[in-house]
Amino acid sequence: EAGVTQFPSHSVIEKGQTVTLRCDPISGHDNLYWYRRVMGKEIKFLLHFVKESKQDESGMPNNRFLAERTGGTYSTLKVQPAELEDSGVYFCASSPIGLGGQREQFFGPGTRLTVL
């Protein structure tokens, strides 16, 4: 079974440009999460989808960030316009919905974003 995949693995853009990150969760996983790790800081939760609906977007830093999950499958995270402080590693994770409360989340390899 394929794991969580993310594209691209690396992205280098200039301040003011737009970047779109993509995440493909494990097939059948209704929960999809985005996280970010800024250099030297902890991994921070950004938002959570259940299927195509945003369950919790309390971690989104500002309105320059837009996440979508069309059809409840893959998700995109767009940053427009990018700022220097947006640099970091963006992780996507997925988990199934089921009995037993919070299930473990399976993480993708991350996208390293560098804003110059």
Partner 1 sequence: AQKVTQAQTEISVVEKEDVTLDCVYETRDTTYYLFWYKQPPSGELVFLIRRNSFDEQNEISGRYSWNFQKSTSSFNFTITASQVVDSAVYFCALSEARSGGGADGLTFGKGTHLIIQP
Calpha distance 88→95 (Å, rounded): 23
In whole angstroms, the minimum distance from the beta carbon of 102 to partner 1 comes to 4
Among 27, 39, 42, 71, indicate the residue that binds partner 1 (CB under 8 A).
42
Question: Which of residues 35 and 65 has its CB atom nearest to partner 1 in the complex?
Answer: 35
Among 7, 13, 89, 114, indicate the residue that binds partner 1 (CB under 8 A).
89
In whole angstroms, the minimum distance from the beta carbon of 26 to partner 1 comes to 12
Residues near partner 1, by CB under 8 A: 31, 33, 35, 41-48, 50, 55-56, 59, 89, 91, 93, 95, 97, 99-110
